[in-house]
Amino acid sequence: MTKAEVVAKLAKDAKISKKAGETALNSFVGCIRDSLKKGKRLSLIGFGTFSVGKRAARIGRNPQTGAVIKIKASKTVRFKAGKALKDAVR
């Protein structure tokens, strides 16, 4: 499903314009982004939890040359699906 399809479905279900639907979707995505940027978790009961995970620095290999490279520590977005979402997919 594309962003345009999500906006159209959101607008239809909420009986609002597509422009308002896009604004709502952008606000929701921005809320998630801002929460994670601050290092906070965002939980939506029944849907899931977004959180920030940390990856430690490690040693890797360049697959083309086989040379050893250092991979810096980094942060990543994690998502754990809630029970209702898991049950809906099964």
Q: What is the pLDDT of residues 21-76, one digit of tens each?
A: 999 999 999 999 999 999 999 999 999 999 999 999 999 999 999 999 999 999 99
What is the pLDDT at residue 67?
95
Provide the β-strand partners of residue 60: 69
E-only strand ranges, the chain: 42-44, 48-55, 58-61, 68-71, 74-81
| pLDDT tens track for 67-77 | 999 999 999 99
| pLDDT tens track for 2-25 | 999 999 999 999 999 999 999 999
What is the pLDDT at residue 66?
92
Question: Do the beta carbons of residue 50 and residue 78 sit within 8 Å?
Answer: yes
Q: Same domain, yes or no, for 49 and 82?
A: yes
Q: 23 lies in which domain range?
A: 1-39
Q: Which amino acid is at 11?
A: A
Q: Please report how many Cα atoms fall inside a 13 Å half-sphere around the Cα of residue 59, on the Cβ side.
A: 3
Output the CA angle 20-31-4, nearest 5 degrees. Answer: 40
Q: How many residues does the chain have?
A: 90
What is the pLDDT at residue 17?
95
Q: Same domain, yes or no, for 25 and 2?
A: yes
Q: Same domain, yes or no, for 51 and 32?
A: no
Q: Same domain, yes or no, for 68 and 84?
A: yes
Please compute Rg for the chain using Cα positions.
19
Q: Same domain, yes or no, for 63 and 90?
A: yes
Q: Same domain, yes or no, for 83 and 48?
A: yes
